[in-house]
Amino acid sequence: MPAVTETIDAVQSVTHSTYKYGFETEIDMDFAPKGLNEDIVRFISAKKGEPAWLLEWRLKAFALWKTMAEPRWAAVKFPPIDYQDAYYYAAPKKKDGPKSLDEVDPELLRTYEKLGIPLKEQAILAGVEGAGESPAEGRMPVAVDAVFDSVSVATTFKDRLEKEGIIFCSISEAVRNHPELVRQYLGSVVPQGDNFYAALNSAVFTDGSFVYIPKGVRCPMELSTYFRINAKSTGQFERTLIIADTGAHVSYLEGCTAPMRDENQLHAAVVELVALDDATIKYSTVQNWYPGDENGKGGIYNFVTKRGACRGARSKISWTQVETGSAITWKYPSCILQGDDSVGEFYSVAITNNWQQADTGTKMFHIGRNTRSTIISKGISAGQGQNTYRGLVKISPKASNARNFTQCDSLLIGDKCGAHTVPYIENRCMTAKVEHEATTSRIAEDQLFYCRQRGLSEEDAVGLIVNGFCREVLKELPMEFAVEAQKLLQISLEGSVG
Amino acid sequence: MSATGDIVTAGNALTEPGAAGFLQRYEGLRARFPGQRLPWLAARREAAAEAFRAQGFPTRRVEAWKYTDLAPLTQAGFGEALTSVDGALPLPRAAAPRRVVFVDGRFRADLSDPEAPVRNLADHLGAAEGLLGSLARTEDLPLVALNTAMFEDGALIDLAAGEDGGVVELLHVTLADRPVAVHPRHLVRLGAGAKLVLIERNWGHGEGRYLNSPVLEFEVAAEAHVTHARLQQEGKGGIHLSTVFARVAEGGTYDSFLLHAGAKLARSEAHVTLAGPKAAAHLNGAQLLGDGQHGDCTTFLEHSAPDCPSRQTVKTVLAGKSRGVFQGKILVDQIAQRTDGYQMNQALLLSDQAEIDSKPQLEIYADDVKCSHGATVGELDENQVFYMRSRGIPEATARSLLIEAFLQEAVEGVTDETARAALAEAVAGWWEKVA
């Protein structure tokens, strides 16, 4: 029974503190002065050697941000954030930027090793512990862009991808080497003034990944970015831009962790996806930022804007997210279905345990004809956690025969948590069909009894039932991620029963 | 004669548009409102006027008003209802054997059945202390504040424990020949085990602009059972903004059905609290919206005791350039274990200019609950229309039958036959009239 043994081990290994990525790396860092003003924006831009148009773009965003107020409509509570009390730029000290993996600071490589993300080209993304040590037989390799605080430290498999004409690099590098692409698409899905956090990100974004898949190319491997917040009193503001040209296909994974600290750290990312005619983008996230301790102290504020535009006919964008970390999650990966026959998907599992709060969901904008969208959301609340699904399905008058199906299920474990569902349906098209269903329940006694009666501990039984509850979403994840996600679910719920 | 005949109107002058106009009118009438000699009531009106002054009319920036724009109300001036209208009034056929009638917000004893277990509020305000405003909040509901400040009359139904109030029709008629603004206040209290079927009908005579903004409060004691069938059949130019509050004690039932058929702009808000174990609520409804109409059905249902079931089915049919809104929130408190909540809202779009906005919402803090909601939006199934036409049924009839079948599920929830018949009559043939 390897699966059971593994699960028990996993739970035992995290008896007191369940967060195993909470270590901090000792490394020399470059910081910008604390605080946020126009000079900091200029500093970041200069540090990255950006062209004038991008600095102007940032300054415009900063001007917009100053006029905006924090959104307060989400069902989350937190003390006011002092935006002046943080470093907006923190990067490991380096000479000219590593040309190859050999030049990367070994301390950094060890950090990623420890996180299960070995930055070696022959290795696979080690979702399963130990898998990185054995040869990756028959498995697809994964190209990784590793972002450490404010900068990308390494990108693997670049040469292999370049042969296919695929651009996969940090966004700073893309600004230098492919300015025309960045200029054309940056902010075209999430404009600078879109919302408070997106404006902040646009002003101070430091790094992130850039992907361009040319016409007709099917990306031969999974692309992935691993975000790590390490330094104290920093925020991470990364910007990811993925463009799939006509007929292109790409699957992209995103993972993230941070050290355990008593302070709350801000992570305000922006992700923009563009899919042209017949293109497909699959975007998977396993979000495992530090959630704070069992008393709700510390943890990441994860305020993220993710949006994809299905610009072309028959294009498809699929979001899959497993949200187990962060003290607060505020995140609504969305699809703008502009192209006729385009497809948007959103599969989500969100877990809140202890004092975590998650307000997450999606928006589906149906603009083109025959556009289809599917929303599957599974929320699990335990401890004192508060979990909200908030979603919008909007169908414009021209989106004839548009179709949406939404299912939101919530599971409550314990009587001190909350599960909330706030869907908005706005339909202005007669021929559109929209279906929404939502359920809220707890783990049934008979299910638990059935498992206990067969010798499973209560904790294992809950893990098993929760995994079953989330199955529809987990099966959308690439395999390595799915295994990691299942383990995370179990660990996240540790201490919630009994 | 009207019991509140001492209110004299200042000719046909209209107030200035917006909240300021209503506040001016409040100032002008303050000394003459019924019950101003009762200190508790005068203080309550004053506090409510202050609450309304502080809030103003809700705008679309207020989350609860995201989909309903009150511009038709706030951009127009309104006038006072005339003191009394004598002579024959064109009234709709009675829906129940016992009927009480209000015209332009005031009781009409001459048109009402004296046998009905209903008193008019203006003359019995002494008996309303502790009941009026016991449920209706004013601090975050400006329309309720406005009503509390300005109401002139309404029905007072106070049933003793075990009393059966039978079937009563509460008819409110607004004469739309002048742009009046009326704010009726109805209070209903059922003692333990009491029973009542109340058919509340808001009916408009004429096509002009007016505002009817009633507030109703229901105190339902243990094991009491009230059926509240609401027929909103306001005139074409009418604005109907109603708010219902109900609190249901242990084992009691508040069983309501709302029909939106009339008015240019209608919003009915219900705030229901299940306060005792095994209390039950049904908040069913149907909206029939034709060209130029806006209908908004908004409900807040709070489960604040264990073992309570709630059921909600709301159907909206939209034709022409119309807009339908459904907002339904179910809140389950931590104490409300073993809650069984079900909510369904469905919309049928019959026109490519219609819009439906739906926001079903669950907020749950108890873990041993069974709560579900569903929402669907679609058009009539053309295969079904074809099936009927191929069997010789004319298209209009086929569509009408399918629409009635769609509405049937919601209407079927009404158990009282008189109430159901009244609703069925209002629904029947709607499509033929609209098409």
User: Does B337 contact A415 at a Cβ distance shorter than 8 Å?
Assistant: yes
Mean pLDDT of A162-189: 93
Place of tokens 């300015």: A179
Per-residue pLDDT band for A18 (boundaries 50, 70, 90) equals: low
Name which of B332, B367, B372 to mutate to probe chain A: the one with the most chain A Cβ atoms within 10 A of its Cβ: B367
Report whether A494 contacts A459 (CB < 8 A). yes
Q: What is the CA radius of gyration of chain A?
A: 22
Of A415, A419, A422, the CB nearest to B334: A415
Output the pLDDT for position A140.
59
Please check whether residue A325 is in contact with residue A292, taking contact to mean a CB–CB distance below 8 angstroms. Answer: no
Q: In which band, very low, low, confident or very high, does the pLDDT at A424 lie, cut at 50, 70 and 90?
A: very high
Interface touch B362/A419, C-beta < 8 Å: yes
| pLDDT, position A490 | 77
Least CB–CB distance from A435: residue in B361, B372, B376: B376
* Token pair listed for B371: 């709560």
Residues A238-265: tens digit of each pLDDT: 899 999 999 999 999 888 777 777 778 8
Find the radius of gyration of the CA atoms of chain B. Answer: 21
Between A333-337, A421-425, B15-19, B244-248, the lowest mean confidence (pLDDT) is in: B15-19
**Residues in B touching A421 (Cβ below 8 Å):** 360-362, 373
| Closest in A73, A431, A436 to B375, CB measured | A436
Q: In a mutagenesis test of the B interface, which of A389, A390, A427, A445 is the best target, namely the one with the most B β-carbons within 10 Å?
A: A427
Q: What is residue B90's predicted lDDT score, i.e. its pLDDT? A: 82
Is pLDDT above 90 for A128? no
Distance from CA of A400 to the nearest CA of B (A): 10
Contact criterion met (CB < 8 Å) for A423 and B375: yes
Q: A418–B374: do the CB atoms touch at under 8 Å? A: no
Report CB contact under 8 Å: A435, B357.
no
Cβ contact, residue pair B375, A427, below 8 Å = no
What is the rounded CA–CA span in Å between residue A275 and residue A105? 36
Contact A434 B372 (CB under 8 A): no
Q: Model confidence over B99-133: pLDDT tens digits?
A: 999 999 999 999 999 999 999 999 999 999 989 99
What per-residue confidence (pLDDT) applies to B66? 94
Specify the pLDDT at position B86.
64
Select the residue of B354, B359, B368 nearest A442 (Cβ to Cβ). Answer: B368
Task: Give the gap in angstroms from C-alpha B351 to the nearest C-alpha of chain A.
Answer: 6
**pLDDT of A314 above 90:** yes
The reply to whether residue B377 touches residue A414, judged by beta carbons under 8 angstroms, is no
Question: Which of A285-299, A303-317, A333-347 has the least mean pLDDT?
Answer: A285-299
Chosen from B357, B363, B383 to mutate, greatest number of chain A CBs within 10 A: B363
Q: Is A424 in Cβ contact with B358 (below 8 Å)?
A: yes
**How confident is the model over A471-483, as a mean pLDDT?**
83
Chain A residues with beta carbon closer than 8 angstroms to that of B347 = 427
Residue B337 at interface with chain A, using a CB cutoff of 8 Å? yes
What's the pLDDT at A125? 41
What six digits make up the tokens of A458?
């209560």
Cβ neighbours of residue B157 closer than 8 Å, sequence gap 6 or more: B117, B118, B119, B165, B168, B186, B187, B188, B189, B196, B198
A134 alpha-carbon distance from chain centroid: 28
Listed by start position, the domains of chain A span 19-492
Give percent above pLDDT 70 in chain A. Answer: 87
The answer to whether the complex's ipTM is over 0.90 is no
* Interface test mutation site (partner B, options A440, A443, A446, max chain B beta carbons within 10 A): A440
pLDDT of residue A350: 93
For residue B246, how many other CB atoms are within 10 A of its CB? 26
Residue pairs between chains A and B whose CB atoms are closer than 8 Å? 116
The reported pLDDT for the residue numbered A57 is: 96
pLDDT, average across residues A147-151: 74
B360 Cα to chain A: minimum distance (Å): 6
Confidence at residue A136, expressed as pLDDT on a 0 to 100 scale: 40
Say which residue, A469 or A231, is predicted with more confidence.
A469
Identify all chain B residues contacting A422, using CB atoms and an 8 Å cutoff.
Answer: 359, 361
Closest partner CB to B363 (pick from A420, A435, A436):
A420
In this complex, is the C-beta atom of B24 within 8 Å of any C-beta atom belonging to chain A? no
Can you give the pLDDT at residue A118?
A: 61
pTM of the model: 0.88
Between A111 and A157, the more confident residue is A157
Which chain A residues contact residue B310 at CB under 8 A?
Answer: none
pLDDT at B9: 45
Mean pLDDT of A464-469: 89
Cα separation of B295 and B316, whole Å? 9
Q: What is the pLDDT of residue A8?
A: 40
Residue B32: how many other CB atoms lie within 10 Å: 12
Count of other CB atoms within 10 angstroms of residue A33: 11
Contact assessment for residue A483 and residue A128, using Cβ atoms and an 8 Å cutoff: yes
Strands A90-92 vs A29-31: parallel, antiparallel or unpaired:
antiparallel
Residues in chain B predicted with pLDDT less than 70, given as ranges, are 1-12, 83-87
Is residue A451 within 8 A of residue A464, CB to CB? The reply is yes
